[in-house]
């Protein structure tokens, strides 16, 4: 066969370029060059990893967890994902990480989500497990999440005593 006939089709410039079509084009070119699906998938994975374009999905449950944790610790939700070493922020972040870990998130995925190294996440999970008031805060959030599933609006009102120390 002619080499031109075997080449992957070039995308039409009039078509909108979506992330999916970009990855499909990369896969098609790699598969055409190697004639191996496994190698083409490795190429796509390597490019995605290098570009860092595979963020963890944010679900409605994640939003609910972060909203309840932030309210419990008396801070805005956006502070949980900001770079901060303040004890109140890190404690709230670690409680949220523990709740997401219980939902089968990996420490690497948690690290990407919170902008931290996975070893920092491991340290935070250990800190929550070994700190009484943080365990109680995690249990409160779990309880409030269960209540929300049952139909009650549960984002707690601002309390006089915050959950930080």
The answer, yes or no, to whether residue 58 has pLDDT greater than 70, is no
Rounded CA-CA distance 149/56 in Å is 23
Q: Do 139 and 95 sit in the same domain of this protein?
A: yes
Quickly state the pLDDT bin for 8 (edges 50, 70, 90): very low
Q: Do 95 and 33 sit in the same domain of this protein?
A: no
Q: Do 77 and 142 sit in the same domain of this protein?
A: yes
- Give me the domain span that covers residue 38: 13-51
Average pLDDT over residues 18-37: 83
Q: Do 65 and 132 sit in the same domain of this protein?
A: yes
Q: Do 119 and 137 sit in the same domain of this protein?
A: yes
**Per-residue buried b or exposed e for 10-41, using 16+ beta carbons within 10 Å of the residue's own CB:** eeeeeeeeeeeeeeeebbeebbeeeeeeeebe
At 109, which CATH number?
Answer: 1.10.1750.10
Average pLDDT over residues 94-123: 93
Looking at per-residue pLDDT, the higher value among 10 and 20 belongs to 20
Task: Write out pLDDT tens, residues 66-89.
Answer: 999 999 999 999 999 998 999 999
Q: Do 22 and 95 sit in the same domain of this protein?
A: no
């Amino acid at each position: 066969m002619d080499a031109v006939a075997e080449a992957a089709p070039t995308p039409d410039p009039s078509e909108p370029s979506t992330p999916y079509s970009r990855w499909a084009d990369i896969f098609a070119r790699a598969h055409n060059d190697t004639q191996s699906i496994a190698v083409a998938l490795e190429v796509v994975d390597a490019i995605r990893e290098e570009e860092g374009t595979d963020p963890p999905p944010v679900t409605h449950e994640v939003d609910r967890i972060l909203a309840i944790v932030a309210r419990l610790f008396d801070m805005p939700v956006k502070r949980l994902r900001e770079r901060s070493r303040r004890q109140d922020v890190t404690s709230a972040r670690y409680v949220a990480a523990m709740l997401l870990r219980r939902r089968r998130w990996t420490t690497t995925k948690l690290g990407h989500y919170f902008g931290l190294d996975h070893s920092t996440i491991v340290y935070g999970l250990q800190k929550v497990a070994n700190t009484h008031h943080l365990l109680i805060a995690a249990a409160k959030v779990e309880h409030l999440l269960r209540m929300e599933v049952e139909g009650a609006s549960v984002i707690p009102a601002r309390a006089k005593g915050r959950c930080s120390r």
